[in-house]
Structure 1
Amino acid sequence: MTMSFAGRFGGRSAVITGGASGIGLAVAQRIVEEGGRVCVWDRDSTQIEQAKAVIADLDGVTVDVADPVAVAQAARQTIEALGAVDILVTSAAITGPNMTTWDYSVEDWRRVIDININGVFYCNKALVPHMLERNYGRIVNIASIAGKEGNQNASAYSTSKAAVIGLTKSLGKELAKTKVTVNCVTPAAVRTAIFQQMSQQHIDFMLSKIPMARFGEVEEVAALISWIASEECSFTTAAVFDISGGRATY
């Protein structure tokens, strides 16, 4: 059951990367329902249009977060369209292939790193100065339990998500004396379209690691992210929030 916090995001505007599907779309829907404006950044223009059909008054920009020039341009375009950006949720990510580290191609490795961590860095870098000028901001970077534990046959993904945790801690501490908070969440597996990038063997492995014996739901993750992205979460920064069905070990 989804609880309603009507008006919680009244007057606030958010950017959500990878926001046209999965967790990002669920967060976008929740923020809009609670009074905010949202611009989704996604590399798939067709999915953006589909998301607009689901969420009224949704803005969208087609952008590859692995391209720093495109990200900077998207930031300028979004600020102009929305008037301001108060919230950034970095949800764009890929899994990469499932294979041993020594069999991993350099090309696949670079693509995962480019999107999953470099893309997060580019987006944070592009919007933090704007948030500082406005003396307010909420950044929620989406990491993964794989970044804390390291999943076998997923070295690039695990490495990239560990790096997201490190970036979040560093940036959060740099901004700790400001009104901009930076936190991340580390979900266990959530059944979304990203499963299409994984082998069935790897999906079964991830399920076997979750004590609740089920995958998470996007609405459950969106509920946590929405609180972290709200004004209510005001005394927490550089933190890692687990949502893993009991899998987290630290």
Structure 2
Amino acid sequence: MDELTVGQRAARLLEGDDLDKDDVRFFLARLLQVQEDQGRAASRAVSRGLALAAAFVVLTHSTLLEAELLGMKIHDISPVRLVIPVAMMLMVLRAVTALRLSLFYRRVFHEAAGQQLPSWRASGLLPLLSPWNGPMSTHASPVRLDVDEHPAVDRLHQVMRTTDSWAGITALAAFQVYAFVMLFHDPRVPTIATVACLVLTVSLMSFVATYLWYANLSRRTPAPH
């Protein structure tokens, strides 16, 4: 069962003479709802990551040195910044996971609609039914409705997606470099704690990169029939 393709899974789920069209439409509507929820989850994760980056900058360059936490007075909150790079990578992992889940739900939707409502797929308008409410760098469907408008339109679209994606990766990497330079140069933050935080952050980065590599590899590898 684990080696079945998405199409084969959809066929098994929707096969049978007693299948009701209303049940199929409910299933498709539910898939679209879940996909939109994943998009919102990715957006929230990205927004929280940006808020964490802003908090790090404020804590680094402000004169705020003490705070009250759970009723206890903390006279130097500089070490609190150690958790921010790690928390940001956790937000990135959450956004990436939500993206992959959304793409999976979209594939199931296309397979189910193609098998039970072939006119939907024949219309070429299925991308309109599966919107993406996540980060801009991942919003565009791989199926283009205006692809025949002009070849330059499609090339520009692909360049914009690639540029947007690499801009996000570059910004994340640049912030992590900036954060650890600030931490290592701050005498109030223990060096051993900064090293531990760096190791954990790099480990999370490697995990995200490996996850994306395997996900991309599995998508390109032909599934068994």
By percentage of residues, which structure has more strand?
A: 1
By percentage of residues, which structure has more helix?
A: 2
Q: Report which of the two structures shows the higher radius of gyration computed on alpha carbons.
A: 2
Relative contact order (C-alpha < 8 Å, sep 6+): which is higher? 2
